[in-house]
Amino acid sequence: MAKKTIADINVKGKKVFMRVDFNVPLDENCNITSDKRIVAALPSIKKVLADGGSLILASHLGRPDGKPDPKASMKPVAKKLSELLGKEVIFANDCVGADPQAKAKALKPGDVLLLENVRFHKEEEIKDKKAKDDPALRKAKDDFAKQMADLADVYVNDAFGTAHRDNASMYTVPAMMKGKPRVIGFLVEKELKFLGDTVTNPVRPFVAILGGKKISDKLGVIENLMTKVNKIIIGGAMAYTFAKANGKSIGNSLCEDDFIPKAKELQEKAKASKCELLLPIDTVVAKEFKAGAENKVVTGDIEAGWQGMDIGPATRKLFSDKLKDAKTIVWNGPMGVFEMLPFDEGTKAIAQAVADATGKGAKSIIGGGDSASALKKLGLDKKVTFISTGGGASLEFLEGKKFVCLEILDEKQ
């Protein structure tokens, strides 16, 4: 997607509506525990202010389910952003209505206004398909979006984390602003460049590492990538569905029985595509799903009463060896229950192997979520090429899905 960015337009004297992803983690006292997502948006914010524009920032935070919730207020974000910018960030007590309208109208070049959580309104996020087809609800969503669209002269999407959603602030607002500049910010530009270039023009050998609980979550990614990569490494609980499909006993391990035929089919497709699909050859199993549970390493069948918790030492070596000559690596999903000791060893081994390959010149793209958390926990987050800010969005991008909220934005000539 060759989309225009804020560097391609003139914002001097204009009001810029920027959709950002300030969905930051909060503790029980509503204190921000990580400002990473706010910091990620600073280059785009500072560019608009330096070029003489004023900013109206909109984001969601948490899951307030379409109604105001003090625990999901953007107020802590306004305070943190003020600290990071070294200037006051004006706060609107809603994202639509009289207060944001008056405050947006009064903005001067260099001013920043942060709107209250857009998900305090049910019109922002209509999930149910039948509801989406309801004319009354569609009109309510349009009316809601138009109020935000009327606040500004320019639309900027810098929220990759929700780029796979057709939420009102992501899709309907720019749709309402047709004829005005509608561009992406620097964060979205970087995401599209790294994810897009990696999948489209990889330096080979190209290896994908996929983990996590469910094969159903990664089905589209596996099918899309097997025609593009040289190897796919499978770990996490979804490996047990493949193991059962191959006639092995998996004890009490997680398994999606409905997807056993699909697991067989994927292996046949991989062979036809000449893509090496690698599955665990040994497993760390436990009697209980808890930290420090009694455990052992098994090769082959897992007996009843035991469940798979992590890839075993032989698998760690096999997978790490397969990454040694990689020139492009995409990783999404842990190898085991990495948040419970001692079942983090597989994920640690893969994280180190990815970091080592990157140190030898490989390009490594981490698809956010648990993989990013594991790298940070291990202090290896600076030793990979790029960590995506959008777990679900990066996954859907790797599936080859189209993002309608980005497609409607202005193209570069």
Per-position DSSP letters for 211-222, written without gaps between them: -SS-HHHHHHHH
- Tokens 């990538």, residue? 225
What token pair was written down for 92?
């609107």
What token pair was written down for 155?
């639309």
Cα 353 to Cα 67, 80, 322, distances in angstroms: 45, 36, 9
Q: Contact at 8 Å (CB) between 171 and 31?
A: no
What token pair was written down for 78?
């306004």
Closest residue by Cα to residue 78 from 101, 103, 98: 103
> Based on the number of CB atoms within 10 Å of its own CB, is 403 exposed (0-12), middle (13-18) or buried (19 or more)?
buried
Q: Contact at 8 Å (CB) between 21 and 37?
A: yes
Q: Contact at 8 Å (CB) between 97 and 59?
A: no
Pairing label, strands 90-91, 112-114: parallel
Cα 31 to Cα 27, 45, 97, 167, distances in angstroms: 5, 22, 27, 26
* Percent of the chain as helix, strand, coil, to the nearest 5: 45, 15, 40
Per-position DSSP letters for 153-170, written without gaps between them: SEEEEE-GGGTT---III
The residue length of the chain stands at 413
What token pair was written down for 281?
């050859």
Pairing label, strands 307-311, 283-286: antiparallel
- Tokens 């857009």, residue? 118
- Tokens 């608009």, residue? 48
Instruction: Give Cα 172 distance to the centre of its chain.
Output: 21
**Residue 342, preceding peptide bond in cis (omega within 30° of 0):** yes
Q: What are the φ/ψ torsions at residue 11 (nearest 5 degrees)?
A: -110, 5
Looking at the annotation, which residues are catalytic?
37, 214, 369, 392
